[in-house]
Structure 1
């Protein structure tokens, strides 16, 4: 059977509700916002519908209220050491080494800039022509085609 959702707080502004929803979710509490769309579209309706309602499952009501109380009092401590960070994204994929200088700081050229610019000038929209085997070195500026 589905668990009931209990409203633990109401807000007149959608952004405030989203901030506290995010904080509760960071603490591991599943929560939902009610009437957020109508208040977001027509803020003057917030009073008529009772504001944006922050709802949690019935089993998490006491813990969620305790967290909201700590937030309102200003004595919250969040343990940032327990958060797993995503691995850093690579700016460009290293697939080759430069035959000129031997550097591995190379990038695959995604399109021919000349054809791209001319098609944009004459057609009004760019036509991306892919060059999958062309690379450029960021160290010495050398451009070559891969075998």
Structure 2
């Protein structure tokens, strides 16, 4: 037999309901939002429908209420030791430097701006023409990478 859903909190703001729903889900509690779409489309109907309802299963009511009370008190602690951290981001292995001034403040321009602009004016939509040019933001030098 399926467990019933019990409303443990109501919110006038949809974003607040989503934030607390996400926090409960992070703690491993299955929860749902009721009337979220009505309030999302017509925020002034929030009072008329009773707000956005945060619902959990009957078995999780006590745990969910204790987590919500800890959050409202500001004493909510999250166990950061159980979170798997993403591997550190690696720097670009092929960092480009400007051949003119040696700066690493360089960006790749993937599209030819002239063809892009003219096609937009003449055809009504831009045609991406691959260019592969590099521009130094320090000295404004542009160059193509030789393969």
Task: Please indicate, yes or no, whether the TM-score normalized by the shorter chain is above 0.5.
Answer: yes
**Equivalent-residue separation in structure 2 for 1:41 and 1:107 (angstroms):** 41
CA contact (8 A) 1:136 1:142 kept: yes
Determine the structure 2 residue equivalent to 1:62: 62
| CA separation of 1:55 and 1:143: change in aligned 2, threshold 3 A | same
| Unaligned 5+ runs, structure 1 | none
| CA separation of 1:2 and 1:65: change in aligned 2, threshold 3 A | same
**Equivalent-residue separation in structure 1 for 2:52 and 2:21 (angstroms):** 11
CA contact (8 A) 1:135 1:146 kept: no
**Secondary structure in 2 matching 1:76:** coil
Indicate the larger mover: 82-91 or 65-74: 82-91
Q: Which residues of 2 match residues 58-137 of structure 1 at below 5 A?
A: 58-87=58-87, 109-131=109-131, 134=132, 136=134
TM-score, scaled relative to structure 2: 0.70
TM-score, scaled relative to structure 1: 0.70
| Unaligned 5+ runs, structure 2 | none
Aligned residue pairs: how many? Answer: 143
**Secondary structure in 2 matching 1:110:** strand
